[in-house]
Amino acid sequence: MNDLSNPVQFLNRELSLIEFNRRVLAQAENKEIPLLERLRFLCIVSSNLDEFFEVRVAGLKEQIKLDTPGFSLDGMMPRQAFKRVSEQIHQLVAQQYQLLNESILPELGQQGIRFLRRASWNDAQRDWIKAYFFRELMPMLTPIGLDPSHPFPRVLNKSLNFIVELEGKDAFGRNSGIAIVQAPRILPRIIRLPSDVSTEEYSFIFLSSILHAHVGELFSGMQAIGCFQFRATRNSDLFVDEEEIKNLRIALQGELPQRHLGDAVRLEVADSCPQHMTAFLLDQLGLTQDDLYQVNGPVNLVRLIRVPDQIDKAQLKFPLFIPGFPFSSQKKKITDIFQKIRKNDILLHHPYQSFQPVIQFIQQASSDPDVVAIKQTVYRTGSDSTIMEALIHAASKGKEVTVVVELLARFDEEANINWASRLEEVGAHVVYGVVGHKTHSKMAMIVRREEGRLRRYVHLSTGNYHTGTAKLYTDFGLITCHEEICADVNEVFFQLTSLGKASKLKHLWQSPFSLHHQIQDAINREAENAKAGKPAHIIAKMNALLEPEIIRALYAASNAGVTIHLIVRGACALRPGVPGLSTNIKVRSIIGRFLEHSRIFYFRNNNHHHVYLSSADWMDRNFFRRIEICFPVLDSRLKKRVISEGLRPYLKDNVQAWEMDCNGYYKQKVLHRSKRFCAQEALLTKLVAVQQS
């Protein structure tokens, strides 16, 4: 088992991602979690699976289609991997809908929250729903009767559609028997009934139920004998020929509309849909029985994720909290953030601590007459961003503003194109990084004139400049004016905007140049320390661990006697606890209220205790096809904070932690309640309650 080139040493990426979604679904099953939050977790599984099909399954199907030779890291052929994936996702989806129908919906009903089926509508409700159909829905519908002049439409990716079976002939004598109705995307998929016709405190109707009840109105003189909802998921990876393009933004704008019309990879239909209709849909979409998912409920559970926001029942949700503020519990805004940074580096731990200091950092820079330049990378910010507005304001005031916009940030391409256009309109320098390498690093640099010289300030982070995700994702951010770190950041910006050789950086590790071998060197150094009888320990927290050379280095370090703790939220290809291979390696995953997103790397190094924060997971793409940074925490006080907040609680957690075995399966420990320790709860208490006292 110690042949480190043997594929048996690795786990399958796709199957590992399915295991991750099993852990998320377990949150929806957990009755200790508030009921509406359980509904959210159920919806998150559906959202995750959507992207899984759009990218990972689409990739497998493309390999099968092209008959790509070779094996994946774990030795599995694409066809074999697809079969395993299909089997396991069918099981997962069946479990998901069973949980919805047998547990979550009945429990919501007990709390006065009901999703009314057509059979349960009373006369007043039927009248209101009929009026809603004619007023809001029917004017927007375009039913398509299938015949030689009206072929099967190219239904959009993940859109809600209905296949209708008809009897009789229309005004032109046509009787094809099948029509397609596409639900307008602008309409809500779930409608709350007004209180005067509601029998419960909260009564909701699915848009699909309204259309089912009145679909006959769309086909005058014909009889609708069946109406069945369906949804097609399509390959959503964008193809941009890096050898041919001359303008990345124009090329991408040309590709974006095609995302909704890629090859179909999955068909979801109501379980009431008869076999001959599902066979027809599969044939039209070019799919097989393995791609069919018949479900007992809405074909798009993601739409239910908005329901908790419409319900005012605090006892059914996680308790609200106000993020802690690092400067003062009384004063949440300081007049000179630069003075504060000069005094001490600032470490922010989101979402327990507020994202507001980052916003202040950029906003004050945009208005400060002494600030002469701002440089920032943009990966995800959302369509409504205070930070982006501040950059636009700074550029409009004549400051030198340079923004490296990553146009290929998956599913954020359109928002980023729009921001790029607005920035250019006010004179900002907008660049798109390096073609072939996504700019995934999170950096902002302010250049300020102070006492006759220019001083640089930087913000570095493990997460995006997105105020929404800063409330939901755990991330660390560092604001500093350390001259050598600032010089390193400046060099990275030069690489992104200019031409020339990459210079050696003093403190930052950077992909695609140094990060991979620096991580390997750090792991190997721990192995050498262990062999020499010196203290050796590795703790690494990340979203995914897949890169084979790093995994082999970890195996070798384990064999040398290094204790290795890995906290990997999602996919992990490493097998822990295998005698003679990974005896000293433990892997755990934390799934809780907040999405664990921070990347933290700790190397004991003979008690020198090196701590790094990074934008990069340990994956091939992050090491070799992205611009990433990994930065040290040099301040000893802040270094202790990262260890005590970002690592130790997660190794101690026995509530939200899942331990991984050597076959890639996860289990939770069952402990007595008096011994329970939840990392996220402990951090909320430590960083929120104390800061607000």
Q: Which residues are catalytic?
A: 440
Give CA–CA dist 466/475, Å, rounded: 12
Give CA–CA dist 650/542, Å, rounded: 12
| CA distance to 124, 287, 410, per residue, from 54 (Å) | 42, 14, 11
Nearest to 437 by CA among 269, 678, 625: 625
| CA distance to 194, 354, 468, 682, 683, per residue, from 328 (Å) | 45, 12, 23, 21, 18
Give CA–CA dist 212/209, Å, rounded: 5
**Residue 357 preceded by cis peptide, ω within 30:** no
How many CA atoms lie within 13 Å of 592's alpha carbon, on the beta-carbon side? Answer: 24
**Residue 512 preceded by cis peptide, ω within 30:** yes
Give CA–CA dist 639/479, Å, rounded: 14
For tokens 């006065």, name the residue.
112
Task: Answer yes or no: are the C-beta atoms of 232 and 55 closer than 8 Å.
Answer: no
How many CA atoms lie within 13 Å of 190's alpha carbon, on the beta-carbon side? Answer: 21
Contacts of 616 (CB under 8 A, 6+ apart): 440, 511, 515, 599, 622, 623, 626, 628, 629, 630
Nearest to 21 by CA among 40, 57, 49: 49
Give CA–CA dist 6/3, Å, rounded: 6
